[in-house]
Structure 1
């Protein structure tokens, strides 16, 4: 069965669709879908036949925040175009992250303001249905993600505790999970020995700014990205829970380019072969040069770690610059050959000829047998004030969803 590899990338309320050639690493534009509000995140089914898209009229990029939030189910057609089906499910707050449980019977959504998680049943045709009623749950401050462990036993909820003066600690909540119901099981909190140095730091979260996790494909290892610390941590887990302390903590900035900008780590993904783990680093601070706000220097890259096959220890082996500003999200194609990152922000970079304008866009990297990245392609989006908030990759069989109704580039209303 032949198929296509499809890249999705948001630009404000638009979702751009590209055909990715895994041999040449080239991107061909297929279509652009326009939603009512800014695309926040998306998550596909395991067979890549459906993509769930979260949108919101609120968030840091909204000039005027609108209380218009929803999740929309879309068939993925054979060329990667999307065909919405069912009714958009309205949400009370801005959904920052969404995922499916391993059984693909429920969709889970994470919110940072207020910090919470909701769980929604999926219908027989994979449409998003009713919300599962939960007991009163406490999630800490600034929830940024929700994931369910591969065995389906636990829901993991990182809270990175954004606070200007660093007064609020971060944490990682572990909830027992069954049939959409979440029950408190454990709470991982900052290590007191590490907390003091971060208690007065911007977004410091007492040294535990837990943002995103990802799971090793074959070993019971969970890798956590610590946002403000720009670190990754390895936790063991099994069917009884998650270890209370990480076995390894490694910097994602070591050996990278130095610069005065503040740094925030962002996304984390384990390679499908389980030999490497990748983390994105973001920097954005500016200074005035020739009347323009020019980037002062820092790390905007994908950092590559090699995983020890016996211990799970990650060892930093490469910094791969994205050639832009603030790479918030990235994705690895299912074959493990290519990685595509999305530079979120427009801005100005210094150069010998004066400030150089860069826009949001996509960067394609080829993944070597050693896990290292080689940048092969860069696509710039229009400089229209919108940002690239999410990117993702799916693999679509040519026979999949051929009969689903196409919607081309029409607007998707909620």
Structure 2
């Protein structure tokens, strides 16, 4: 039976490039990359037959955490870590690795040296032209930016001009389509063991050439009762969809130019029976369909009863 971590790794690597396949040498051909632990496996996708054909695998320095494609779709960046999820034991191996994607087959090959990170990366993305990779860390919550060299290999860290407010328990970072705003998603924590709730927030930064400035915190009700996990952008409208892990809800925030609204315009439940929870429920990743007509969200549970 597939476990939660395997499923989420499969989902992450399947969804990193929703608008086009990685393998572009053959018209209509798609490639899927899934991970189990440190092993990242390439599959050919037969859409008409709804079938997968397993191809070769590559092994990362530690367990795969997330992956993101280069804007050219010729390279794939993969974050890995030996730390346990959540607040589990901390490991010592944390990296981002670059892979070259064969344009005809979709096969992966190492591309340059991996970069070492200080702690577990929980999410990565590139800016729109893929000149930098942005890395989100959860424990401690942090956001770092690294250069991507002209040959798509990974470069040095961009040292920021001032401290970065990364909130509490970061979970994701994304860059808007105009490449002028980076949004860091900080989930916060539920109250537990006598410890009060840690508030969540969306941390919005002006973004230019790898530098993060003018940070603004979007935290309705001071961030209490607001536990965002992931966001995605509408392809043509100034809308951002945000999953609230701790509340099992989906918010829609509007943009006014490069300014994200201080409160959501709409909110929907992600559970069919929100008042009849028999076990802990938690909203997960969210993706907007390329046509902008559908939003896909994930809910998960820790137990089965």
**TM-score scaled to structure 1, two decimals?**
0.63
Q: Which has the larger radius of gyration?
A: 1
Quick one: higher RCO (CA 8 Å, sep 6+), 1 or 2?
Answer: 1
Tell me by how many angstroms 1:102 deviates: 0.9
Q: For 1:63 and 1:176, how far apart are their aligned partners in 2?
A: 33
Counterpart of 1:309? none
Corresponding residue SS for 2:140: coil
Counterpart of 1:38? 63
Q: For 2:207 and 2:255, how far apart are their aligned partners in 1?
A: 14
Q: For 1:112 and 1:179, how far apart are their aligned partners in 2?
A: 24
Q: Is the 8 A contact 1:151 1:239 kept in 2?
A: no
Over residues 44-71 of structure 1, what are the superposed CA-to-partner deviations in whole Å (9 max), with x where a residue is unaligned?
Answer: 1233210001011112289864311110
Counterpart of 2:79? 54
Corresponding residue SS for 2:72: coil
Q: For 2:275 and 2:55, how far apart are their aligned partners in 1?
A: 36
Whether 1:95 and 2:121 are equivalent positions in the alignment is yes
Q: For 1:191 and 1:175, how far apart are their aligned partners in 2?
A: 20
RMSD: 2.0
- Out of 216, 241, 244, the residue aligned to residue 262 of structure 2 is 244
Counterpart of 1:374? none
- Out of 100, 119, 126, the residue aligned to residue 152 of structure 2 is 126
Counterpart of 1:113? 139
Whether 1:150 and 2:181 are equivalent positions in the alignment is no
Q: For 1:114 and 1:66, how far apart are their aligned partners in 2?
A: 13
Q: For 1:239 and 1:153, how far apart are their aligned partners in 2?
A: 10
Counterpart of 1:75? 100
For 1:140-179, list aligned pairs within 5 A. 140-165=167-192, 166-179=196-209
**TM-score scaled to structure 2, two decimals?**
0.85
Query: As a proportion of its length, which structure holds more strand?
Result: 1
For these two proteins, the number of residue pairs brought into alignment is: 275
Q: For 1:120 and 1:24, how far apart are their aligned partners in 2?
A: 40
For 1:299-318, list aligned pairs within 5 A. none
Distance 1:257 1:245, change over 3 A: closer
For 1:318-357, list aligned pairs within 5 A. none
Q: For 1:259 and 1:225, how far apart are their aligned partners in 2?
A: 18
Counterpart of 1:372? none
Counterpart of 1:85? 111
Which stretches in structure 1 are left out of the alignment for 5+ residues?
Answer: 193-204, 286-294, 297-414
Over residues 145-172 of structure 1, what are the superposed CA-to-partner deviations in whole Å (9 max), with x where a residue is unaligned?
Answer: 0101111111101111124435211111
Distance 1:70 1:248, change over 3 A: same
